[in-house]
Amino acid sequence: MSVLRYALLGLISKESRTGYELVAEFEHPIGNFWNALHSQVYPELSQMHQDDLINCVQVKQEGKPDKKVYSLTTKGYVVLQQWLNTFVKTPRTMRDEFMLKAYFMGEVSAKSARDQFESQLRDHEGRLQTLEESLTAFIQDQEGGPIRTNTAEFGRWLVVWKGIMTERTYVEWCRQALHWLEVGEVRPQMFR
């Protein structure tokens, strides 16, 4: 079973959804850590229906195309729970093309390296800001009240917060790199 299947089961478990809505969901915070396009989602949903993981109800609409609303079957719920309770092995590699380029930064001019890091820094500062706004909006939705750990809101909190921490780290690293490029060297004893 592919990870996409579990992602879809998880999303449908919160609420019945159409393929279109599921694709849209990947624009939201979870899209920072998993996503899929409609060309992958629609065929996958068909398969999952055939495998009795989800029910399908066709709904006629006026002024809009008809839609297929999917909901979890008992089997789908069991399969989701099974996955949620299985340990994932942390993969050795988190592919990041910029980190690969960084590995070869000794090969380029100092100016070019600076340009690269400045571009990266701007990207990640932008994403950090978006995430922080998203967190602020989320906190306001909760009206300052606590988020209970056995609710769907907790999951959202966890991923947004992780996104923020990750982007802060990226920003900090870019700034350090720019500093090292300015002085032309790293004095490693600083970081022991």
Partner DNA sequence: AAACCCATGTAACGCGTTACATGATTAT
Partner DNA sequence: ATAATCATGTAACGCGTTACATGGGTTT
Find the binding residues for DNA in span 86-105 (CB under 7 A): 93, 95
> x-or-dash pattern for DNA, window 18-57, by CB under 7 A?
xxxx--x----------xxxxxx-xx-xx-----------
* DSSP β-ladder status, 54-59 and 67-72: antiparallel
Between CA 53 and CA 45 the distance in angstroms is 9
Q: If you ran DSSP here, which 8-state letter would residue 17 be given?
A: B
Q: Of 50, 60, 61, 104, which one interacts with DNA (CB under 7 A)?
A: 61
Q: Of 15, 24, 34, 52, which one interacts with its own copies (CB under 8 A)?
A: 34
How many residues touch DNA under the rule CB under 7 A: the total is: 27
Q: Of 37, 50, 74, 97, which one interacts with its own copies (CB under 8 A)?
A: 97
Considering the rule CB under 8 A, would residue 6 count as an interface residue with its own copies? yes
Contacts 24+ apart (CB under 8 A), 83-91: 83/1, 83/6, 83/9, 84/10
CA nearest 25: which of 48, 4, 46? 4
Contact partner at residue 8 from its own copies, DNA, none, CB < 5 to 8 Å by partner kind: none
Please identify, using beta-carbon distances, which residue of 23 and 174 lies nearer to DNA.
Answer: 23
Residue 91 CB: number of other CB atoms within 10 A?
A: 7
* Alpha helix stretches (DSSP H) within 16-109: 19-25, 38-50, 74-84, 97-103
First to last CA, the chain: 43
Please identify, using beta-carbon distances, which residue of 58 and 93 lies nearer to its own copies.
Answer: 93
CB of 49 to DNA, least distance (A): 9
Please identify, using beta-carbon distances, which residue of 14 and 47 lies nearer to its own copies.
Answer: 14
- Torsion (CA) 44, 48, 49, 51 in degrees, nearest 10: 140
Q: Of 24, 56, 172, 175, which one interacts with its own copies (CB under 8 A)?
A: 172
CB of 83 to DNA, least distance (A): 13
